[in-house]
Homo-oligomer: A and B are copies of this chain.
């Protein structure tokens, strides 16, 4: 089969398609045209068809896409037909928030373990999972078939911990630390840089309320 690299921009849009298709499905809607999808998702119909063509087009035939089929297929492409075993490193506020977010389980992301360096947290239960010392990570990853590690620790520790995780054979890192990790290309990293996101919001507020393009403050 011809191998074609699909751009990360297309991939970034897939979860959103998946989400909207899930909602249509929950409403009992069986078919949807690219134009209808376009109206509810505020993306052009041509963008939608172009995105779907990366995956063979999903067989739209005049009367539109089969919602259930499209939902399932995009789910498969996203790997949601398989379970992923996940651990969380860092049992602070963010780590606990993520651990408690039951929605992930619905999509096959199973919360298996949580680790912290603070001895006062050892044994504390988060959704029936006990916080363990960092020293246990290696053993735990290797004996529990852990795919994904969530880094909810400060950036000062994140690089070192990521390096260890790579050594233990982790496949993916969901990184909330405010640093870009250097890992080998066989380890996938998805960053959630919250400060970056907040700064982008700040930019957009500023730009709008300055009525310009954000350059007004900059000496020429």
**Partner-B contacts on A (CB < 8 A):** 1, 3-6, 8, 11-12, 14-16, 18-19, 41-42, 55-56, 73, 76-82, 84, 92-94, 96-98, 100-101, 103-104, 107-109, 147-148, 171-172, 174, 178, 180, 186, 188-190, 192-209, 212-218, 220
In the assembled complex, the CB of A175 is this many whole angstroms from the nearest CB of chain B, namely 9
Given contacts A55-B214, A77-B218, A192-B192, contact A14 B199 (CB under 8 A): yes
Of B19, B77, B148, B216, the residue contacting A196 (CB under 8 A) is B19
Assembly CA distance A178 to B19 (angstroms): 9
Q: Tell me the nearest residue of chain B to A209, going by C-beta.
A: B171
Closest beta carbon of chain B to A183's beta carbon, Å? 12
Q: Which residues of B contact A41 (CB under 8 A)?
A: 180
Asked if B96 contacts A199 (CB within 8 A), the reply is: no
B212 touches A1 (CB 8 A): yes
Q: Which of B19, B76, B193, B213 contacts A218 (CB 8 A)?
A: B76
